[in-house]
Structure 1
């Protein structure tokens, strides 16, 4: 069992990330932990592992959890065995077998005489062929590093496993192995992921948000249905509150006009009656105080409704707050853009593909480029973009405008501010206020305009990239997406999906996310082997 009770966590600068979090995970539960980027999902996993300490509250587990981390180079200085935390145990076993039967070695080994066999079995299961325990992590690909940590589950044999974005770097084969493990294991699982296929294999979804952890008793599809119902109710509440605000303003206007007429009528009567000036002044002051009091009452009511409306609007999903204005490609549908004749590429004497490639790409198509890690997907993209020439065969290219969007959103210049980045795409000479209106539409409010792009999260860079493309007057004829969802949370995947579905040009996509490919309407595949 795992539990969090009244947990609050603050950054070193004392900014509170989340507060009063309560969560119980029972034995053999399989829990999905989801939430927007920056909500604190990875931090919550860190608290559950004991690596991070909360400011207040209690976190506990009835056995030591095993953690499969996200990796971004932080383990490159370690060997595989060191990253898995088994280096000392393997060294102790080696020395014992060589005759150094010391108390220290026996304590380090802890009667785990089958550690080497489990390592071999785990590496075979996770298809880590040719990977040595002494090998530096820096020599491995992203997918291999992930598999190393996944192999650690079989090596350490824990009861509780915590996984942070485990499918991020895995190809289709690796994902299939991960999904099989999730389905078949009796381990207690807590999984942070944006992979909706994986999330559907888990029996409970826990959403970390402004209100703490909300538990939904079902898989991701069940959660999505419940959120749709909640969001529909929220939209109705927003509309009702907008109506109430309009009504309150009308009542305020009518009341003030009526009061002004009464005041004017009273003033005429007083003048007609010939009352002394001092009496008339007293009546006028009373009337002004009465009007001010009434005005204050109405202003308070209108302000209260406006504040409630603002709170409700802030709860709306981000995808509903922004308008995505992608232009259509200027090319007619069906125009031949790329023709590849017997294409291949060689590194030294070794050709990348066993068979030369023949294919054609026409305007308006939506194509997925598929293959395992190392199968040459990026190489093929570079040839399509005319950045690399094939060593065998030829590629014919028509005249068209393309944009390449990789998982790091390299179109964004990290040295520029958010406003400067948007201005860089301002080929239509929009005025400054028009640029800022569009930035606001993509959730970049005033406090973001002078922020450096290098300080943005993956999801924020994606939104700024979409905003920049929408600002450009000429839409690209082809958009190439290279693992675009790897660094995005579920909310931002939804925003990207909506944007791509509005685009009417040619689309090439490299992605292992089968659900994303379905949702953007991919029509055919180029499979590399």
Structure 2
């Protein structure tokens, strides 16, 4: 059992990251924690794990949770056994079995006589049999590091497990193992993830914002349906407020026109009746005050409706307006733009692929490049881009313009500010106000234009990348995406998905996110 009561966290600069986070995690619960990038999901997991202290609030739990972090660089200098905090137990067990039965060794082992057996079973399950527990973490790939910490769950057998983006560095086979483990484990799980296949395995969804947690009693699919209903209701509220605002403005105009007519009639009547000048000034002042009060009443009403409308609009999803917007007029589907005939590449005098590759890429194709880690997906991309020459076979490339977008969006110059970066792509001579309008459309307001690109989150970089491509407006025949969803939250994955589906050119994608591949209508695959 895990109970959070009114947890708040404040940055060192006194900015409040989130406040009043309250929820409970029951025994055997399997729960997703979702929310936009920057809302504080990872920070909350660190608070629950004890790595960070909250600004206020209280946490009640029966035992210390086991935490699988998103980043592992801090463990590079440790051995696997040290990172998993099992080195002392294993050393004590070894010494006891060798006859060194000291009080210290017995205390360190704490009757955990099956620790070595569990280690072997866990490493075997996660396909890490070839690793030595005394091996340094820095020698491992990102996927292997993730699996090491996932193995720690089976070794420590905790009641509560916290996982921060556990599928990020895993290939398809690793993800399948993770999904099976989540289904079978009896531990309570709280998982931060943008992997919607994983999220659909979980039984409950917590949506986190700066002001609290909204609980949805179902998996991500259920949550999505509920959000659609909420957004439809929100759109209806917006439309209702827009009508109310229009009506209020019409009422204000009619009332003022009517009052002006009455004032004009009264003035003419007073002039005809010969009312004294001083009396006419008094009557005129009264009429002006009356008109002013009417204007104030209507202005206050209009201002209130406008503010309500502004708040409602700010809550609406901004996906539909974020599209590539390329001119597809010159697009011709079906022509050959890349051809590979019996190609292969050598690493250390050994061919990368057991069998030579032969394939064609046609204009308009949507292709996934699949294979386990180390199978040569990135190498093939570099061959298609013309950055590597094949050791064997022939390639023919007819694409006029190809854009490569990796998970770090390295097409962006990290040394530039946002507006400066947008100007780099301004090859069609857009005016300054037009560029700033595009930036606004992609949620970069006036306050963001001078921000350096190196300060942006993964989702912000993705949005800036799409925005820059719309500014360029030069139709790329091929777009290559290399793990584009790895550093994105769900909202930004949906923005990217909508933008890609509007693009009609050729698409090559490396991704382990099966749902993403389905939603961008992948039709073919190259399996390495």
Q: TM-score range by the shorter chain?
A: over 0.9
In 1, Cα distance between equivalents of 2:342 and 2:49:
52
Match of residue 41 from structure 1? 41
CA distance in 2, matches of 1:143, 1:328: 39
3-state secondary structure, aligned to 2:319: helix
Does residue 1:316 correspond to 2:284, yes or no?
Answer: no
Which string of whole-angstrom CA distances, capped at 9 and with x for unpartnered residues, describes residues 244-279 of structure 1? Answer: 111111111111111111122222222222222211
Aligned to 2:358: 358
Matched with 2:287 is 287
The SS at the match of 1:5 is strand
**How far apart in 1 are the matches of 2:323 and 2:262?**
47
**Gap change, CA 1:327 and 1:115, over 3 Å in 2:** farther
1:173 alignment counterpart: 173
Q: Secondary structure at the match of 2:522?
A: coil
What is residue 301 of structure 2 aligned with on the other side?
Answer: 301
Aligned residue number for residue 182 of structure 1 = 182
Residue 216 to residue 118, structure 1, CA distance change in 2 (3 Å): same
Contact 2:336-2:363 at 8 Å conserved across structures: yes
Contact preservation (8 Å) 2:8, 2:19: yes
Pair 347,81 (structure 1): closer, same or farther in 2 beyond 3 Å: same
Matched residue count: 528
Native 8 Å contact 1:327 1:470 kept in 2: no
Tell me, in whole angstroms, the C-alpha distance in 1 between the residues paired with 2:15 and 2:294: 42
> How far does residue 405 in structure 1 lie from its aligned partner after superposition?
0.4
State the match for 2:259 in structure 1. Answer: 259
**Contact 2:79 2:137 survives alignment (8 Å):** yes
Corresponding position of 1:484: 484
> 2:81 aligns to what SS in structure 1?
helix
Contact preservation (8 Å) 1:30, 1:189: yes
- Is the 2:323–2:498 contact (alpha carbons within 8 Å) kept by the matching residues of 1? no
Cα offset, 1:97, TM superposition: 3.8
CA distance, structure 2, for counterparts of residue 329 and residue 141 of structure 1: 44
In 2, Cα distance between equivalents of 1:27 and 1:343 = 54
1:444-485 per-position Cα deviation (integer Å, ceiling 9, x unaligned)? 011100000000000000000000001112121100000000
- Please state if 1:17 is matched with 2:43: no
Cα distance in structure 2, aligned partners of 1:74 and 1:327 = 47
1:206 aligns with 2:206: yes
| 1:92 corresponding residue in structure 2 | 92
Which whole-Å CA distance do the structure 1 matches of 2:331 and 2:321 have between them?
Answer: 30
Q: After superposition, give the CA deviation of every residue in 1:278-320 in whole Å (9 maximum; x if it has no partner).
A: 1111111111111111111100000000000011111111314
- With the length of structure 1 as denominator, give the TM-score of the two structures: 0.97
How far apart, CA to CA, are the structure 2 residues paired with 1:80 and 1:245? 63
Matches within 5 A, 1:57-76: 57-71=57-71, 73-76=73-76
Q: Secondary structure at the match of 1:39?
A: coil
1:417 equivalent in alignment to 2:417? yes
2:153 is aligned to 153
Q: Say what the alpha-carbon RMSD is for the aligned residues.
A: 1.3
Residue 324 of structure 1 deviates from its aligned partner by 4.6
Q: Per the alignment, do residues 83 and 42 of structure 1 end up closer, same or farther by CA in structure 2, a change over 3 Å counting?
A: same
**TM-superposition CA deviations, 1:201-252 (whole Å, max 9, x none):** 1010110124411111111111111111111111111111111111111111
Deviates more, 1:115-124 or 1:459-468: 115-124
Q: Distance in 1 between matches of 2:329 and 2:185?
A: 48
Within 1, Cα distance between the matches of 2:331 and 2:268?
A: 74
Q: Report how far residue 527 of structure 1 moved.
A: 0.2
- 1:98 offset after TM fit, Å? 4.2
Q: The residue matched to 1:319 in structure 2 has which SS? A: coil
C-alpha contact (below 8 Å) 1:329/1:505 kept by paired residues: no
Larger deviation, residues 222-231 vs 131-140: 131-140
SS in 2 for 1:411: coil
Q: CA deviation at 1:80?
A: 1.3
Whole-angstrom CA distance in 1 between matches of 2:44 and 2:246: 43
Instruction: Give the match for residue 274 of structure 1.
Output: 274
- C-alpha distance in structure 2 between counterparts of 1:334 and 1:115, whole Å: 59
Q: Distance in 2 between matches of 1:456 and 1:426?
A: 21
Deviation >6 Å, runs of 4+: none
Tell whether the 8 Å contact from 1:318 to 1:491 is kept in structure 2 after alignment. Answer: no
Q: 1:404 — aligned with what? A: 404
Q: Deviation of residue 21 (structure 1)?
A: 1.2
User: Matches of 1:124 and 1:512 in 2, distance apart?
Assistant: 22
Show the counterpart of 2:453. 453
Deviation at 1:55, TM superposition (A): 1.2
Residue 332 (str. 1) matches residue 332 (str. 2): yes
Measure the CA separation in 1 of the matches of 2:191 and 2:233: 29
Structure 1, unpaired ranges of 5+ = none
Q: Secondary structure at the match of 2:407?
A: coil
Q: Alignment partner of 1:23: what SS? A: strand
Contact persistence 2:481–2:508 (CA under 8 A): yes
What is the CA-CA distance between 1:74 and the residue it aligns to?
2.7
**Deviation, structure 1 residue 380:** 0.4
Name the structure 1 match of 2:344. Answer: 344
Contact 1:48 / 1:60 at 8 angstroms: preserved in 2?
no
Helix, strand or coil: the match of 2:3?
A: strand
In the TM superposition, residue 88 of structure 1 has moved relative to its aligned partner by 2.5
